[in-house]
A and B are shown apart, each in its own frame.
Chain A
Amino acid sequence: MAATEAAPATESASDPMRPEPFAVRHVTKETGDTFTLTLAPVAGAKFRPFAPGQFNMLYVFGVGEVPISISGDPARPEILVHTIRAVGATTRAMQKLQKGDWVGVRGPFGTAWPVDQAHGHDVILIAGGIGLAPIRPALYHVLLHRGLYGRVVLLYGARTPRDMLFPKELREWRGRFDVVVDVTVDRATMEWQGSVGVVTKMVQRSPFDPQSAMAFICGPEVMIRYAAQALEQRGTPGSSIFVSMERNMKCAVGVCGHCQFGPWFVCKDGPVFRYDRIERFFGMREV
Chain B
Amino acid sequence: MTIHSFEKILAEHPFFKDLSGPHLDTVVGCVANVVFQPGDFIFREGQPADLFFLVREGKVAVEVFVPNKGPVTIETIEGGEMLGWSWLFPPYKSRFDARALNAVRALSLDGACLRTKCENDPSLGYQLLRRFTEVVVSRLEATRMQLLDLYGSD
Interfacial residues, chain A to chain B (CB-CB below 8 A):
33, 85, 87, 128-130, 157-159, 163, 184, 186-188, 190, 192-198, 200-201, 205, 219-220, 222-223, 226
Contacts and interface: CB of A to CB of B under 8 A. Distances in A.
B15 to A, nearest CB: 14
Given A187-B146, A198-B146, A128 B151 contact: yes
Contacts of B71: 190
A198 B144 CA distance: 10
Given A188-B72, A194-B76, A195-B59, A33 B153 contact: yes
B142 A128 contact: no
A220 B151 contact: yes
A222 B145 contact: yes
A75 B71 CA distance: 45
Nearest to A129: B151
B125 interface: no
Given A187-B146, A190-B70, A226-B145, 8 more contacts: A130-B151, A187-B72, A194-B76, A200-B142, A200-B145, A220-B150, A222-B148, A223-B150
Contact of B142 (A159, A163, A193, A197): A197
A196 B149 contact: no
Contacts of B113: none
Contacts of A85: 153
Nearest to B78: A205
17 contacts: A87-B153, A128-B151, A159-B151, A186-B146, A187-B72, A187-B146, A190-B69, A190-B71, A193-B101, A195-B78, A196-B61, A197-B146, A198-B142, A198-B146, A201-B142, A205-B78, A220-B151
Contacts of B74: 196
A197 B76 contact: yes
A184 B76 CA distance: 9
A111 B74 CA distance: 38
Task: List 6 tightest A-B contacts by C-beta distance, closest first.
Answer: A129-B151, A188-B73, A159-B151, A220-B150, A186-B146, A196-B73
B75 interface: yes
B80 A205 contact: yes
A129 B149 CA distance: 10
Interface in B54-101: 59, 61, 69-76, 78, 80, 101
A130 to B, nearest CB: 8
A259 to B, nearest CB: 21
A181 B73 CA distance: 21
Contacts of B149: 159, 186
B152 interface: yes
Interface string B28-60: 000000000000000000000000000000010
Contacts of B78: 195, 205
B61 A186 contact: no
Nearest to A192: B73
A223 B151 CA distance: 9
Nearest to A188: B73
Contacts of B151: 128-130, 157-159, 163, 186, 219-220
A223 B148 CA distance: 10
Contacts of A188: 61, 72-73
Contact of B150 (A33, A184, A205, A219): A219
Contact of A128 (B61, B69, B150, B153): B150
A196 B145 contact: no
Interface string B134-154: 000000001001101111110
B69 to A, nearest CB: 8
A6 B76 CA distance: 35
Contacts of B148: 222
A223 B74 CA distance: 19
Contacts of A190: 69-71
A184 B150 CA distance: 14
A197 B75 contact: yes
Contact of B145 (A33, A187, A198): A198
A87 B74 CA distance: 28
A186 B61 CA distance: 13
A140 to B, nearest CB: 22
